[in-house]
Structure 1
Amino acid sequence: MIHVLSARHLDWDDVEPVRHPFDRASVEQVVRSLGPARNVPRRPDVPFADPVMTAWDREVAEPWADAMSQALVERYGRWTVGWRWSHDEGDFDGGPVGHWCCPRDSVTTPEETLPRVVAALCEWRDWLESLAGRFEAYPLDLADVEDQRILWECAARNLIIQVTDRTGCGSGWHGHCHQVLAWFLDHWGIAPDTAQVLVERAVGGRFRSWTGPDRRLVDDIAERLARSLRPDDAEPDGGPLPDHLRRWLTVRESVPWPEAGDTEEAGAVEPARDGAAEDIRLFDGALDPARAEGLLTALHLLRADAARGARPDFDLLRGWQRHVLGTPGPPEFRTLPAFAKEGRERYGIDADTRERFDACLAESAMEGALPLAARAARAYLDVCFFHPFDDGNARSAFLTLVFVLAREGVALDDVKVLRRLAFQAEAQQDAVTLARFIDMAVTGTRNRALSSSR
């Protein structure tokens, strides 16, 4: 329950004011109409250090505050849990709310307690609306980070200062500061998980409880955060991230593809069992039955496309991807830089990125140019590092690999290893390793199919 009712775990989608209407004129009436408002506990008239007070706080006041939070969530949405995120060592440590402290201090009588709830909720909402306004005050574009670097730095710097002022830099204040910076990146198109990684890397554990950051530290963190979004050719050690798509395209030309997976025999391979479908049912089905269903639909479509000799390109992949993602229509090619591996890899975007992607995919259908395993591996990695979709690229890469094999009548009875490996854009050996794994999977499937037919 604490995890659910803690504002520390809120993403920007959870709290963005435009997504969650709120009528201040009726909030007091709403709060008083909620179930917990009819049973506000009264604080015992004993010293705070008295064991009676400690027991009352733990057994009566805290459960009541949790019940009020739950009631507010059900009425307005999950964003409301921040009403208890008070300054310093309150309920959740280091928040921006001043009208509430904690159940022991803030729950007194119904006449006093309910107005505190209303005031705290409105204060939290005001803070969220002020943040949304500050985010919009910096209309930033991930596709033009280089030219907007100063604006990114200025925005980050101002947000840090705002959080320090709002929280008072007490106990745990930096947790909310991290969160606000991540919300800001999320607002301008960076996935929440990646945003958190970039903020952690920029801050580097240098904020401290009960201590406000000096101007030099604020400037350095703002600069690091802005630089982490740039496609400069540098290592991701707190400085700018390189463009890993460019690195992959360079590596792609240097991989000894003809020697990768060159032991395979020619000809169709019909496995004794459908390894791709089986793995989807077991692995993806355990995560989410709807996810597995979408992948199985895409698998059926790609095999039909392979049987008719379809040529691989983005339009073909997006037809499968609509089922992978469960979207009403085929998803578009991404328009912003993308991140993967918890923010450690960044894939840039240019005017001709989609055109280059189609050209690379087309090479996988050039039979005889390279061994089949090498072409399948290269196509898989092309999807990974071009990262054409906003989501589901690993699944798209796997489907592309299956498609390249299927065009030549090859299917596998076991794909677990191929789906569980991770590859680096700049590691030539990773590409060779993947091709050899595919080659071994094809050979193993063929041998097992022959053995079962005897």
Structure 2
Amino acid sequence: MTSRPRLHDWAEVDPARHPFDAAGAARVVWRLAPPVPPAAAVPRPRQVFDEAAWAASREADRLASDWNAAMTDALVDHYGSWAYGWHWGPRSLWYYFSPIVTSPPETLARVAAALMDWRRWLEEVAERFDRLLPALRDAAPVGPDRAVAAWEVAFAELLTAGSAWAEDPDCWYGPCHRMLVWLLTATGLPEDRAVALVDAALAPWSTRWAYLSAADVADLAERLAHRVAGPQTRAPAAEDESWPDTWPHAWPSRRSHTRPPPHPLP
């Protein structure tokens, strides 16, 4: 089995480093694919426990997971590490652990479509980085305030794009996390340090099952920019614990100057 890349380093996925023939992707998938297991015909148990149905469902899950792993190994061996994320695209074209529910031709067509969707997304990210990275490099020698501002703009753009790309409101975290880490590693920050910074910044929002609001994006971008720019800058002070963040969605953030009026007493 191919060793599992983490894909935290931009160099692992940068399209400029990894040639790809989109026109031939479907043929490659057909040539590399292991035999597709039969479509799962057993419905998942719902309200009534059925031991036989549960066993069949678990077996379908195991077959699908094994097949997905073998398909992924084949793609990585052929294309390189970037292909490991073929099922991570911002649109849900393939769910890695779902039982196989289609015929072999349709299954392989969906795999090829998911691979190409992932590649197109990486190319879109690369286009953004081509614009953002020069601005970050130019701002660094000017001074910490200019550097913080440049990072804040870059982070805000990526957070907005990642949230918009996600097909479902509870799927924004993955695209946003990946792009933020990739941007940091693209500027030379060590991978572990980049992941730690992004993990800490996104932690308060990690269980938010809704798209990021404009206030969320602004707060996240500002805090992460101060942490990345260096020790000579100071991150904004933490909010008073009695003051809620932007949850529920209609509440103001710490950027607001007024609290919502209290509910009237009955």
Distance 1:131 1:106, change over 3 A: farther
Q: 1:106 to 1:177 in 2, by over 3 A?
A: farther
Correspondence 1:130 to 2:137:
no
Partner of 2:36: 40
Once residues 237 and 197 of structure 2 are traced to their aligned partners in structure 1, the CA distance between those partners, rounded to angstroms, is 8
Provide the C-alpha distance between the structure 2 equivalents of 1:177 and 1:217, rounded to a whole number of angstroms.
Answer: 13
Specify the alignment match of 2:13 in structure 1: 15
Deviation, structure 1 residue 221: 1.2
Give the match for residue 82 of structure 1.
85
Say which of 54, 59, 76 aligns to 1:56: 59
Match 1:113 to one of 107, 112, 125: 107
Change (3 A) 1:155 1:104: same
Q: Distance in 2 between matches of 1:107 and 1:44?
A: 5
Conserved? CA contact 1:73–1:79, under 8 Å: yes
- What letter is aligned with 2:86? W
C-alpha distance 198-233 of structure 1, shift in aligned 2 (>3 A): same
- Larger Rg over CA atoms: 1
Q: Deviations over 1:333-353 (max 9, x none)?
A: xxxxxxxxxxxxxxxxxxxxx
SS of the aligned residue for 1:132 comes to helix
Distance 1:233 1:52 in 2: 59
CA distance in 2, matches of 1:112, 1:238: 53
Q: Deviations over 1:210-243 (max 9, x none)?
A: 222221121011112222233564557889xxxx
Shift in alpha-carbon separation, 1:96–1:105, aligned structure 2, 3 A: farther
Q: Is the 8 A contact 2:163 2:175 kept in 1?
A: no
Q: Kindly indicate whether the alpha-carbon contact (under 8 Å) linking 2:169 and 2:210 is maintained by their aligned counterparts in 1.
A: yes
Q: Distance in 2 between matches of 1:238 and 1:175?
A: 27
Name the TM-score, length of structure 2 as normaliser: 0.74
1: distance between equivalents of 2:56 and 2:106? 18
Would the aligned equivalents of 1:100 and 1:106 in 2 still touch at CA under 8 Å? no
1:68 to 66, 71, 83: 71
Displacement of 1:128 in angstroms is 0.8
* Cα distance per residue 1:15-47 (max 9 Å; x no partner): 1111111110111111111141xx111213232
Q: CA RMSD in A?
A: 2.8
Is 1:184 the counterpart of 2:183? The answer is yes
Summarize the Cα distance change of 1:78–1:165 in structure 2 as closer, same or farther, 3 Å threshold: same
After the TM superposition, which residues 334-349 of structure 1 pair with which residues of structure 2 at under 5 Å, given as runs? none
Relative contact order, CA 8 A, sep 6+: which one is greater?
A: 2
Partner of 1:160: 159
Alignment of 1:215-230 (within 5 A): 215-230=214-229
Preserved CA contact (<8 Å) 1:170 1:210? yes
Question: Take 2:18 and 2:150, find their aligned partners in 1: how far apart are those partners?
Answer: 28
Q: How does 1:289-438 map to 2 (within 5 A)?
A: none
- Matched position secondary structure for 1:122: helix
SS of structure 1 residue aligned to 2:209: coil
For residues 65-84 of structure 1, the C-alpha deviation after alignment (integer angstroms, 9 at most, x for no partner) is 11000000100012112112
Give 4+ residue runs of structure 1 displaced > 4 Å after superposition.
169-172, 234-239
2:192 matches 1:198: no
Give identity over the alignment, percent: 36
Structure 2 match to 1:208: 207
**Contact 1:69-1:80 at 8 Å conserved across structures:** yes
Q: Tell me, in whole angstroms, the C-alpha distance in 2 between the residues paired with 1:109 and 1:14.
A: 32
Other structure's SS at 1:216 match? helix
The alignment of Structure 1 onto Structure 2 pairs a total of residues equal to 226
Q: Is the 8 A contact 1:186 1:192 kept in 2?
A: yes
Distance 1:175 1:3 in 2: 21
Contact kept in structure 1, 2:9 and 2:186, CA below 8 Å: no
Letter in 1 for 2:73: Q
Aligned to 2:24: 26
TM-score by length of 1: 0.45
SS of the residue corresponding to residue 117 of structure 1 reads helix
What runs of 5+ residues in structure 2 fail to find an aligned partner? 46-52, 239-266
Residue 56 and residue 2 in structure 1: after superposition, are their counterparts in 2 closer, same or farther (change >3 A)? farther
The 1:235/1:152 distance shift into structure 2, 3 A limit, reads closer
